[in-house]
Chain A
């Protein structure tokens, strides 16, 4: 595996994760439980779109074939998207979206922290800016989980239900393929198992405070990094890519 190709693929994975998570969060616009929370969710969405743009721009530079960041976001299909399965799951209720956001941020924070030691200067630059944002996202979602766990019976039930549904997609975030192997050897990326330890520490700490227990399940689903998705992604892309697909070559 050529390192340049592996790096391109890895950047797309990071970009796609942020893009799809941001698109899901943007669905909350005008639908939040209180105005402040409507703003907080779209604010996180905006951060993630910004991170996606940075990774897409770097991917476009690496690809060096005249394609832009927008081409990468809006003109690739579901079998060319490398995001993790977690972020493409439908929003559900506010507890479900919060849990999804929490699990993603608990993964992205240690990943970005580790990538600050990358031998690739651009990746280092993008992730050191992103890590500040992701820390806030993690704090925001953690605080809500603790509120749910210590709020009402209903709020606890809803957040446990969300965890039961979403836990099956968490292993997918740590799945590695040949690209990862090439990047670990080159000192550009890291073994995702090291990130998992940090992820588990965060998760255990917050779940304890939020009275949540990790479900025991054999139903573990993976495939995002190999572009094997759930049925939800294609529908999202239809909506997201509609104008670019319907008006090829138009400038907006």
Chain B
């Protein structure tokens, strides 16, 4: 057995024994690559996700709503920071990751390529998008890479608060005026299917799943996580009087799961490939403000150099 094969065997044994892999440990190149891709994509999603919510900060309808939304967006930015740090444990810098994002080499969650059109979208994002993220992240908190698993634990706590605030917005609007109820249902109609797509393609078509499952980068499959989210969320929707926009939705008493209609994977791939309603806008915004801030970063570095020279 070659040294490489031996190392791989030992690595797999550690994974199977549920040991955490730490930055200085030996790891297969593909494990490293997959995690850099996944963690940086996750960090970029948090940062790009600030845009659709930021769209409503200035129009938030009460002092309380403004404070909660702003605090939530800050949390997302903070998650971006720890995730960039978790990815940096592999020796890749934040500047490189941002460059990959801006060159279209790194992706972010497609959900943020949909526009936020009304205040109810702040409810739908908190409740559905963060709700789906929690299901995924609770799984990731058990992943084999130590820094990522630990970042997820902290992030999950805050996402729980985000989901509750989103659901509260939806509940208040469903209890409100006819116009508010209409906005809430409309947001539900627009965000329901894209939220289900957040778990990624079905297990039969998922490109990265087998190896990731083997190395415990993922510990549960896309379809299983999606089903868990649906089972949780349908009841919550009914509780506040929202209709789930799926004519095939029905509860199966034998499996104790909600069965759902076909997901439009063509739409998913269209958005992933860059042709969703806001892909262009989100990336332009990111690049524009990154470039606008270049002189600030240069000034800060020049100042640091002067201070350390003295």
Question: B-contacting residues of A (Cβ < 8 Å)?
Answer: 23, 26-27, 29-39, 42-43, 45-46, 49-50, 52-53, 56, 69-70, 73-74, 93-94, 146-148, 150-152, 154-155, 158, 239-240, 242-244, 247, 249-252
User: Known: A30-B54, A32-B293, A33-B292. Is A150-B306 also a contact (CB below 8 A)?
Assistant: yes
Interface residue from A39, A46, A50, A243 paired with B61 (Cβ < 8 Å): A243
Residues of the B chain whose Cβ atoms lie less than 8 Å from the Cβ of A73: 63
Q: In the docked arrangement, what's the CA distance between A219 and B224, Å?
A: 67
User: Known: A42-B73, A152-B299. Is A30-B59 also a contact (CB below 8 A)?
Assistant: no
Stretch at the interface among B3-11, B171-179, B193-201: B171-179
Interface 1/0 per residue, B290-309 and A, CB below 8 Å: 00111111111011001000
**What are 17 sample pairs from A and B whose C-beta atoms fall under 8 A apart?**
A26-B57, A29-B70, A30-B73, A31-B289, A33-B294, A53-B64, A53-B67, A56-B63, A74-B61, A147-B303, A148-B299, A150-B302, A152-B295, A155-B296, A158-B295, A247-B180, A252-B172
| 3 smallest beta-carbon distances between A and B, as pairs | A33-B293, A151-B299, A155-B299
Residues of the B chain whose Cβ atoms lie less than 8 Å from the Cβ of A148: 299
Q: In the docked arrangement, what's the CA distance between A42 and B285, Å?
A: 18
Residues of the A chain whose Cβ atoms lie less than 8 Å from the Cβ of B74: 39, 42-43, 46
Q: In the docked arrangement, what's the CA distance between A251 and B179, Å?
A: 12
Q: In the docked arrangement, what's the CA distance between A111 and B64, Å?
A: 26
Tally the A-B contacts, defined by beta carbons under 8 Å: 132
Q: Answer whether residue B23 sits at the interface, using C-beta atoms and an 8 A cutoff.
A: no
Contact A29 B73 (CB under 8 A): yes
Contact B59 A152 (CB under 8 A): no
In whole Å, how far is A82's beta carbon from the nearest beta carbon of chain B? 17
Interface 1/0 per residue, B37-69 and A, CB below 8 Å: 000000000010011001001111111111100
Contact A94 B293 (CB under 8 A): yes
Q: In the docked arrangement, what's the CA distance between A84 and B127, Å?
A: 38
Contact B62 A252 (CB under 8 A): yes
Q: Answer whether residue B131 sits at the interface, using C-beta atoms and an 8 A cutoff.
A: no
Residues of the A chain whose Cβ atoms lie less than 8 Å from the Cβ of B84: 35
Q: In the docked arrangement, what's the CA distance between A172 and B136, Å?
A: 53
Residues of the A chain whose Cβ atoms lie less than 8 Å from the Cβ of B47: 30, 35
Q: In the docked arrangement, what's the CA distance between A26 and B78, Å?
A: 16
Q: Answer whether residue B268 sits at the interface, using C-beta atoms and an 8 A cutoff.
A: no
Contact A35 B299 (CB under 8 A): no
Contact A46 B71 (CB under 8 A): yes
Contact B296 A34 (CB under 8 A): yes
Contact B180 A151 (CB under 8 A): no
Contact B296 A29 (CB under 8 A): no
Residues of the A chain whose Cβ atoms lie less than 8 Å from the Cβ of B294: 33
User: Known: A33-B297, A42-B74, A50-B67. Is A70-B62 also a contact (CB below 8 A)?
Assistant: yes
Q: Answer whether residue B77 sits at the interface, using C-beta atoms and an 8 A cutoff.
A: yes
Contact A23 B58 (CB under 8 A): yes
Residues of the B chain whose Cβ atoms lie less than 8 Å from the Cβ of A49: 63, 66-67, 70
Closest residue on chain A to residue B180 by CB atoms: A250
User: Known: A147-B299, A151-B300, A154-B295. Is A52-B63 also a contact (CB below 8 A)?
Assistant: yes
Contact B302 A26 (CB under 8 A): no
Q: Answer whether residue B147 sits at the interface, using C-beta atoms and an 8 A cutoff.
A: no
Q: Answer whether residue B108 sits at the interface, using C-beta atoms and an 8 A cutoff.
A: no
Contact A74 B303 (CB under 8 A): no
In whole Å, how far is B171's beta carbon from the nearest beta carbon of chain A? 11
Q: Answer whether residue B276 sits at the interface, using C-beta atoms and an 8 A cutoff.
A: no
Residues 271-293 (chain B) with a chain A CB within 8 angstroms: 285, 289, 292-293
In whole Å, how far is A51's beta carbon from the nearest beta carbon of chain B? 11
Residues of the B chain whose Cβ atoms lie less than 8 Å from the Cβ of A45: 70
Residues 162-203 (chain B) with a chain A CB within 8 angstroms: 169, 172-173, 175-177, 179-180
Interface residue from A31, A69, A151 paired with B303 (Cβ < 8 Å): A151
Given A30-B47, A152-B302, A243-B119, 16 more A-B residue pairs with CB atoms under 8 Å apart are A26-B66, A26-B70, A31-B289, A33-B292, A42-B70, A46-B70, A49-B70, A50-B67, A53-B63, A150-B303, A158-B295, A244-B61, A247-B180, A250-B176, A250-B180, A251-B172
Residues of the A chain whose Cβ atoms lie less than 8 Å from the Cβ of B293: 32-34, 37, 94
Closest residue on chain A to residue B75 by CB atoms: A39
Interface centre among A52, A56, A251 (most CB of B within 10 A): A251
Q: Answer whether residue B80 sits at the interface, using C-beta atoms and an 8 A cutoff.
A: yes
Residues of the A chain whose Cβ atoms lie less than 8 Å from the Cβ of B57: 26, 29
Interface residue from A30, A43, A155, A239 paired with B51 (Cβ < 8 Å): A30
Q: In the docked arrangement, what's the CA distance between A16 and B214, Å?
A: 58
Q: In the docked arrangement, what's the CA distance between A35 and B306, Å?
A: 23
Contact A69 B63 (CB under 8 A): yes
Residues of the A chain whose Cβ atoms lie less than 8 Å from the Cβ of B135: none
Residues of the B chain whose Cβ atoms lie less than 8 Å from the Cβ of A31: 289, 292
Residues of the A chain whose Cβ atoms lie less than 8 Å from the Cβ of B175: 251
Q: In the docked arrangement, what's the CA distance between A26 and B71, Å?
A: 11
Q: Answer whether residue B81 sits at the interface, using C-beta atoms and an 8 A cutoff.
A: yes
